[in-house]
Structure 1
């Protein structure tokens, strides 16, 4: 018996619950048919500790690539080294502006009901990654944001600070598999801001020491061109925004801008979002809209689940893992 999978298949029969089952079953079919799955992470999924389920998905080869915001990239590491210092605020809906100022004074940065501790999380990582940035800058080397974090995690420099079981860190699981990660708009993350500050002070002389944007799209194009030779590639989107918008465009770019022939469109699509379908809402657009942009085909299995990803995603992952 698979307790979670059997439970949801028995009880989740209609509306968003049924969409969850359809998407999970479609995910499994896609992989069973030899497909690959690309996943995108928006919102605050790392602070929501999605690594508890996503890390095992990565280890069991249920995810072949990830696109995430800079915040999700770094916040998985923050949680890894400072979990015991996080402060939960279950009554966050009732906080006054003065209450928020008091949290700031305690160096606690709030994400809904959870506060990230600046000193124990952000500054602890800053010291280690600054050394990597400066060494690369000195030696004329350039790496992507995720590659710098891979280097730190695999070096063992942070192990003495671990405050959760490392098997629950999705980024560590990804580093161990050298999973391709795309991080568009990294500059607006906390570490991106810190990197900019060290460029301003002159401690880092080459702003291109950390590779970003256009080079990530070029990397995404190379990855898609190679993997689609042997596999239909699915697109599993958590939330909206740049994490989903950036990588899904690689297909029309290859076909329309590079005039490449025989570039298959995405072979599966699912989005979990609480953004209600509406006029002008890209994150709330129904999947069929993507057909006119050359991203999906009329026969692409597609699903949209209008719900909270912190509830939905772990259930889908459990179904895919057969738990």
Structure 2
């Protein structure tokens, strides 16, 4: 693939330290795909609110990612940005906010994520209204789905099109729904929509079992991994730390140790983009070699770590992979 100006720039100027690691990771990702490998991308933090969809959606459309693991927040916040973008409030001086300033944001129904405030009414409640319908339809007929499948149903119904406030090609969830891309959402209940669903269950309106669980996600992922790890195998591109990465990477040692599948391949590429540095007991900041001892990576697995801000690094890596 011919490379555009962004790719040319980083190859010419990103020659040392974290910048060189960025280029090495991008080239390793590209090689993995060219040799027939598949890739999992894991999304932690607030990458959807950071509008990673501007590049991730095209990665999905061009088949440069085969499966995603993300937090419940990233699952919902991409759609919130799709339907309520103009109502978001940016606070560039967020470091100077006093407790009273923060309280005033709450009173005005803004929830702050660093320098960006998500509008409650236009984002959370707008989604809640439409998700209630797909949740209720399933609950009343005894059907059960995963959290991301409910989101796909809502998006593919086109009921949200009336609210679109960004170019839909920049929504990674819409791109994923249109491809029916597999998504793993560990700990989904730790999200706004997860909390809302729980509240309906507490009120007796829905059955908790209408929503498929994290255990079922792990069971599904184990089956997917067995079917997709032949040949070059499956790579692991981890954005941030936390459960979005911790949960799916464990499928390999589970299959090997607990299911006694002694020939199951290790993850065949690993990269982590994180500003979490190695420290006492930090898993998010652990160097890739530590994962060898847990049976997740092989000695020969290509391993990369870029200790930097994912909102800067990841769009550049994706731009390289897309030839921009």
Band of TM-score, shorter chain? over 0.9
Cα deviation for residue 230 of structure 1 reads: 4.2
- Aligned-partner Cα distance in 1 for 2:136–2:232: 39
Q: Which residue of 2 aligns with 1:279?
A: 280
- Aligned-partner Cα distance in 1 for 2:231–2:188: 30
- Aligned-partner Cα distance in 2 for 1:102–1:304: 39
Instruction: Provide the secondary structure at the position in 2 that maps to 1:187.
Output: coil
Q: Which residue of 2 aligns with 1:320?
A: 321
* Structure 1 gap segments, 5+ residues each: none
Counting matched residue pairs gives 322
- Aligned-partner Cα distance in 2 for 1:305–1:36: 21
- Aligned-partner Cα distance in 2 for 1:52–1:193: 28
Q: Which residue of 1 aligns with 2:220?
A: 219
Cα deviation for residue 294 of structure 1 reads: 0.6
- TM-score, length-normalised on structure 2? 0.98
1:132-143 to 2 correspondence within 5 Å? Answer: 132-143=134-145
1:253-292 to 2 correspondence within 5 Å? Answer: 253-292=254-293
CA deviation vs aligned residue, 1:121-168 (integer Å, no higher than 9, x gap) = 000000000111111000000000000000010110100000000000
Instruction: Provide the secondary structure at the position in 1 that maps to 2:189.
Output: helix
Q: Which residue of 2 aligns with 1:103?
A: 105
Asked if 1 retains the 8 angstrom alpha-carbon contact of 2:43 and 2:70, the reply is: yes
Q: Which residue of 2 aligns with 1:209?
A: 210
Q: Which residue of 2 aligns with 1:245?
A: 246
2:54 to 27, 52, 55: 52
- Aligned-partner Cα distance in 2 for 1:199–1:27: 42
Cα deviation for residue 261 of structure 1 reads: 3.0
1:15-54 to 2 correspondence within 5 Å? Answer: 15-54=17-56
CA deviation vs aligned residue, 1:104-135 (integer Å, no higher than 9, x gap) = 00000000000000000000000000111111
Asked if 1 retains the 8 angstrom alpha-carbon contact of 2:273 and 2:308, the reply is: yes
CA deviation vs aligned residue, 1:209-261 (integer Å, no higher than 9, x gap) = 01121000001101101001344110000000000000000000001000013
Q: Which residue of 1 aligns with 2:176?
A: 174
CA RMSD of aligned residues (A): 0.7
- Aligned-partner Cα distance in 2 for 1:162–1:262: 47
CA deviation vs aligned residue, 1:168-224 (integer Å, no higher than 9, x gap) = 0000000111100000000010000000101111111x1110112100000110110
- Aligned-partner Cα distance in 2 for 1:8–1:212: 42
* Structure 2 gap segments, 5+ residues each: none
Cα deviation for residue 322 of structure 1 reads: 1.0
CA deviation vs aligned residue, 1:274-311 (integer Å, no higher than 9, x gap) = 00112211011000000011100010000000000000
Instruction: Provide the secondary structure at the position in 2 that maps to 1:296.
Output: coil
